Amino acid sequence: MAAEPNGSCGDEDAAVRQVLGEERFRLVQGAKLLVVGAGGIGCELLKNLVLAGFRDIEVVDLDTIDISNLNRQFLFRRAHVDRSKAEVAAEAVRQFRPSARVVSHHGNVKDPQFGVEFVSRFDVVVNALDNLDARRHVNRLCLAAEKPLLEAGSTGHLGQVTVIKKGETECFECQAKPTQKVYPYCTIRSTPEKPIHCLVWAKNLYDLCFGPEDESNLLTDLAAEMKQFTSQEKVDGEEVGKKIYSHLFDADIRKQAALEDLWSEKRPPPDPLPFDEAVQRSSSSGAPPKGGAAVLDVQKVPSVAGDAQGFVAAVKAMYSDARRGLIGQSVFSKDDSVSMDFVHCAANLRMSNYRIDRLSRWDAQSIAGAIIPAVASTNAIVAGLEVVQLIHVLESTAHKKELRDGRCRTVWVRYPEPSRKKILQPSTLQPPNKECFVCGSRTARVALKGLSDWKMCDFVKKCVQGSFGAVSPALYHNGVCIYNPEYPEANEEAEEEGMHPEWSFTEWGLASGALLSVEDEAQGFSCNLLVRDEPELSDAEFPAGFNVEAGADSLEKAGEDKRQAEAAAEEPPAKRAATEGPVVALDD
């Protein structure tokens, strides 16, 4: 048998060579891949890649292994809990194929070391991500580096795989994506009606009590009260927990109930819940959720007593020796048991105040973490499709063919319908959307409610970074820098450099119709923003105070073109999760 390209014995590759054929086998063996994500899809993907003969792989993931991952991320075992996902996954797949070079990077793909120069080292990038922000970032890196990107996602029984390449196909942002729902301040602060309102309140409370200072927090009016409970050098965590409880679920609720103009027969005032009274309300293990019997304890709705005691216990745990140092910089995570206990119990207690049906921890974690329960078989199908499309990409590149002229496809994974037994629906790759502000016209439009009310630093944080997904953007107007990411706050050094992040649009001399340039070196990305003043922008519809209008008409037309193409193929569109664009991956 002939020697392998790297001089190793080819016995382990004999079957792969026979299946792929000599040409494809050479392409596979010579490809240098970057895999981003080592979770539900990532574990399946890495296993598939090494078994398909790929020998040069690097994987990036920022997460550590949680016990909740073990039911579907099969490369991990209980002994691996709290270790890096990327590191353990790389170790595991090397056992499948010892000759493979699999390098792990424990870090955030948005970190500077994983920029355009890093991505340029690879032939293809393969995504296995679980959030829009990171996927947009990798999309922009690949466009800047002019490298093909395999983009995939799964949500329940639905999934999707597509191929992205600059100038040849739609990029990830050519089609509008669902954005995170923003709720009006008054609903969250004073008049919650649904469990999600109470969970948003509880997550803001966690950030207020244990996270860094943030003026945009919806509960900033409670900051002084929370500080007086936690400002002492030596505090008793249990005592602090009871004080916070009494203030939030008793005293503050009494104040809210006294605001008579908020309440009516249809919306009665909230009920205070003193701690001593709460702990008397049933100490049973809880009831099953609506719709059927609970299978696990986490699927049971706890008693009010359990929520009250759990809230105090979570605060006490935050002030334990192991976690006390994190106070002031802690960030909520659905996979952190203490922070999830705090948010779950706080939300349930607020639901009790407002007579809203309380949630099990299972449901609260799903909503708070924006999770649709993962289906391991869907992840496996999606990962397999990524490898198939990856081989097509390598062939097209080797033969210098455009991806849309080859065998590359977008493939949807759908739940089978009674009239059709197919679960896979392929469709042709679409050309770039000319109005896309990332890869097309590069101009987006933003309507702001009151230019004089918007500080430049707030605009950058909430709109340019929050909505447009920039990482480290600089803003220019007529060639003059009006925001430098090195000076995000007002101080003497910023003023010396002529930077005033606290100035409003009007203080910068900008009027409605101003055209700004955005330059983000971290992403190798640039675009234009056309900003207009819209004083009548609806608070109810746009509580954040702005509306992104990035080529809406063209996006709608592009979506219609895609639907017509699918109809012409005599296949019904796959069931999708709220968007004609790629499915949002909600597995981790």
The single residue of 9, 142, 186, 457 carrying the catalytic annotation is: 186
- Chain centre to alpha carbon of residue 530: 26
Strand order in the sheet with 410-413: 101-106, 56-61, 32-36, 124-127, 149-155, 158-164, 410-413, 424-427
Which are the contacts of 266, defined by CB distance < 8 A and separation ≥ 6? none
Strand 424-427, strand 443-448: pairing: unpaired
Structure tokens at 465: 């970074």
Contact 489, 457 (CB under 8 A): yes
For residues 193-231, one letter each, b for 16 or more C-beta atoms within 10 angstroms of the residue's C-beta and e for the rest, the string is eebbbbbbbbbbbbbbbbbeeeeebbbeebeebbeebbe
Structure tokens at 99: 């000759």
CA distances from 485 to 133, 429, 479, 504, 514 (A): 19, 36, 16, 16, 20
DSSP annotation of 277 = H
DSSP annotation of 505 = T
Residue 292 CA neighbour count, 13 Å, CB half: 4
Known catalytic residue at 457 = no
Q: How many residues are recorded in the chain? A: 588
Report d(CA 96, CA 118) in Å as an integer: 27
**113 φ, ψ to 5°?**
-70, -15
DSSP string, 139-174: HHHHHHHT--EEEEEEETTEEEEEEE-TTTS--TTS
- Per-residue three-class SS string for 452-493: HHCEHHHHHHHHHHCCCCCCCEEEEECCEEEECCCCCCCCHH
The residue behind tokens 């896979």 is 424
Residues with catalytic function:
186
